[in-house]
A and B are shown apart, each in its own frame.
Chain A
Amino acid sequence: MSALASIVISGLLMGAIYALLAGGLTLIWGVMRIVNLAHGEFLMLGCFATYWLAGSGVMPLATLLLTTPAFFALGALVYVLIVRRVVGAPELMSLLMTFGLSIFVINVGVIAWSGELRLVRFLSGSYAFGDVLVSKSRLVAGLIAVAISLAMFAFLQRTRWGQAIRAVAYDREIAEQCGIDSGRIYMLVFGLGTALAAAAGGLASTIFAFSPLIGQQFILKAFAVTVLGGMGNFAGALVAGIALGVVEQLVSYLIDSQIAAAVAFVVIILTLLVRPQGILGAR
């Protein structure tokens, strides 16, 4: 029983990181109608940024304070340089362009850092709650991920900027007539999405060994979360991310860890077929 509880808690915490990553993906889709296939690569770059900073003596969690603004700026720059040109184009064009970006970043990463696995060492060991053991690094990373997701949700719901973002997502033309500069909103959203991915990467790097190829594993999970939560639905992504984390852990504990890899894909296909608006969505 305590083993099962550990598994569920571990899944919850893993899911919180999925939710953070997918939050960025779903935000960009909801506002810009672009599926960012390079989203996992921003996570990978976030892992490496944390690795460097931690290597030069910064406390791993404090690195987020440095990397998140830096990746916000990087995302805004990528938007201005290339992504801007495919907003509103047929979806094949935005899929291809972000895919090209993804291949570029992965391969530059492989050239620069080789394919070897790295890990940010931080908080080894576990906390014991009665019989239930929870890994320290996982607990801290998961809680921070939830905190960032909730802060982002509050930003979208409560602030004027958040309102402007939701207005553009709802109807770009009406928002523009109300005096909102949609180009600036897109830049803001792409920057925020990128920063969320990098934050997820920074947290994941303290739990997992990573290489320049890690983005590809995560992007497929982020897709599953995005689809399950309803594409463009930030709160949905939060719930769905945590759900996916738990289900994956349970499947790998109760059935087989190889099959757990397929959970994300089965979730995508079933959700699209049965409930395409997602678990929280009403379209």
Chain B
Amino acid sequence: MWRDVGRNLRELSWAWRAGILSALAFTLAYFWGGAPYYQSLLLSIAMYVVLASSWNVISGFAGYVSFGHVVFWGLGAYLTAVLVSRAGWPWPLALAGAGLGTAVFAALIAYPLLRLSGVYFAIAMLALAEAVKVGITYARPVTGGGGGIYLRPLVGVDDAFLMMALLAICLVVLLAVLQKTRFMQSLLAIRSNELASASLGIPTTRRKIEAFALSAFFPAIAGGIYILNTAFIDPRTAFDIAITLNIILMTVFGGIGTVLGPVIGPFAFMALSETLWAQFPFIHKALLGVAVVLLVLFLPRGVVPALMRLGAWGERREHAG
């Protein structure tokens, strides 16, 4: 598999290389010269790129639609906060610990949970996120309960933006080079037909657990960076179902099961919600609901596949696929 990754990295198209370089240049330019308002806006866009891309691994590529993805983000934030404030770890180590801890948690719950499929898995994940929220609220001595945890502000908005953007770029590039590997192809096979995949010799359970752990690791780090910057987290924010739903909407809008969909989605969504917010401060959430319904009715496969169908590049890809 790692040989495939290396080859895919060498064979990345010019468009991809140019895109990665310009994303890096853009990040550095805003890191040194951007106004704090734009840095914090881009910080949340980058965070949602991480969340949406990681949700897309388990739900887009492997086809296990999760309605509780926020649980990994919230756990990452809480683990980071607890490791820094209670255990006294330096924050970079705490971030890594939060990522690994959450990935291990995901791998442990994956085996029972991924036996469910379809809407049953979606509901079980929803319930899991809520159960973890109640658990953390209850574990008051460690987590501060419903009042949350305060930290000293450790990371400024510029540094947080830089870390989050680099994390997002790493994840997107990783997914791009994973495309033509056995790992990713097994996930697509599982999405099409799990039984047939297993009978072809794909270790479906193992692949699903790996995909689940991967899709838990990155949001946990993003949650950690978030709390290092905001210096406060409580259970209501950390496990807010609205975050899960934003993730799903952005990915579906961009194009579920594509690498670029979860990148385009957050930009479009944030632009839309900033404009709606400015124009209609009171009814923007209701309008968001309308937008969701319209999205499902008129653009269920998302922007990226629609664009791909338009361009000649897309046609060649479809022939090849």
Q: How far is the CA of A85 from the CA of B285 in the complex (A)?
A: 23
User: Which residue in chain B gives the minimum CB-CB distance to A261?
Assistant: B134
A271 to chain B, nearest CB (A): 9
Q: Mark B129-165, 1 if CB is under 8 A from A, else 0.
A: 0110011011000000000000000000000000000
CB neighbours (8 Å) of A258 from chain B are 134, 137-138
CB neighbours (8 Å) of B127 from chain A are 220, 223-224, 264-265, 268-269
Stretch at the interface among B195-203, B208-216, B288-296: B288-296
Known: A92-B252, A107-B288, A220-B130. 16 other contacts (CB 8 A): A93-B300, A96-B292, A97-B292, A100-B293, A103-B286, A103-B289, A107-B283, A110-B285, A224-B127, A261-B134, A265-B131, A265-B134, A266-B131, A269-B131, A273-B116, A276-B120
Does B173 sit within 8 A of A, measured CB to CB? no
B299 to chain A, nearest CB (A): 11
A194 to chain B, nearest CB (A): 17
B144 to chain A, nearest CB (A): 14
The verdict on A107 contacting B134 (CB below 8 Å), with A96-B296, A100-B291 known, is: no
* From B112, B126, B293, contact of A101 by CB (8 A): B293
- Whether A97 lies near B124 (C-beta < 8 A) is no
CB within 8 Å of A: which B284-319 residues: 285-286, 288-293, 295-297, 300
B158 to chain A, nearest CB (A): 33
Identify 11 residue pairs between A and B in the complex whose beta-carbon atoms are under 8 Å apart, listed by A's number.
A91-B65, A92-B248, A95-B119, A96-B249, A103-B288, A107-B285, A110-B285, A111-B283, A227-B123, A258-B137, A261-B134
**Number of A-B pairs, beta carbon distance below 8 Å:** 117
Does B51 sit within 8 A of A, measured CB to CB? no
Task: Name the prevailing secondary structure of the A interface residues.
Answer: helix
Q: How far is the CA of A101 from the CA of B289 in the complex (A)?
A: 6
User: Which residue in chain A gives the minimum CB-CB distance to B109?
Assistant: A269
Q: How far is the CA of A257 from the CA of B18 in the complex (A)?
A: 56
- Whether B296 lies near A223 (C-beta < 8 A) is no
- Whether A107 lies near B130 (C-beta < 8 A) is no
User: Which residue in chain A gives the minimum CB-CB distance to B65?
Assistant: A92
Q: How far is the CA of A269 from the CA of B135 in the complex (A)?
A: 14
* From A93, A102, A110, A273, contact of B115 by CB (8 A): A273
Number of interface residues of A (CB under 8 A): 41
The verdict on A97 contacting B286 (CB below 8 Å), with A259-B134, A273-B115 known, is: no
The verdict on A269 contacting B290 (CB below 8 Å), with A95-B122, A259-B134 known, is: no
Q: Mark A208-235, 1 if CB is under 8 A from B, else 0.
A: 0000000000001001100100010000
Does B78 sit within 8 A of A, measured CB to CB? no
A218 to chain B, nearest CB (A): 13
User: Which residue in chain A gives the minimum CB-CB distance to B289?
Assistant: A104
A222 to chain B, nearest CB (A): 11
- Whether A100 lies near B122 (C-beta < 8 A) is no
User: Which residue in chain A gives the minimum CB-CB distance to B241?
Assistant: A216
Does B245 sit within 8 A of A, measured CB to CB? yes
Q: How far is the CA of A188 from the CA of B135 in the complex (A)?
A: 41
CB neighbours (8 Å) of B288 from chain A are 100, 103, 107
Does A123 sit within 8 A of B, measured CB to CB? no
B70 to chain A, nearest CB (A): 14
Q: How far is the CA of A242 from the CA of B120 in the complex (A)?
A: 22
- Whether A89 lies near B300 (C-beta < 8 A) is yes
Does A86 sit within 8 A of B, measured CB to CB? yes
The verdict on A269 contacting B128 (CB below 8 Å), with A92-B256, A262-B134 known, is: yes
- Whether A91 lies near B128 (C-beta < 8 A) is no
CB neighbours (8 Å) of A100 from chain B are 288-293, 295-296
Does A35 sit within 8 A of B, measured CB to CB? yes
Q: How far is the CA of A42 from the CA of B169 in the complex (A)?
A: 42
CB neighbours (8 Å) of A259 from chain B are 134, 138
- Whether B130 lies near A265 (C-beta < 8 A) is yes
Q: How far is the CA of A174 from the CA of B27 in the complex (A)?
A: 59
CB neighbours (8 Å) of A85 from chain B are 297
* From B123, B249, B296, B300, contact of A268 by CB (8 A): B123
- Whether A111 lies near B134 (C-beta < 8 A) is no
Does A4 sit within 8 A of B, measured CB to CB? no
A155 to chain B, nearest CB (A): 26
- Whether A111 lies near B252 (C-beta < 8 A) is no
CB within 8 Å of B: which A258-283 residues: 258-259, 261-262, 264-266, 268-269, 272-273, 276
Q: How far is the CA of A106 from the CA of B287 in the complex (A)?
A: 11
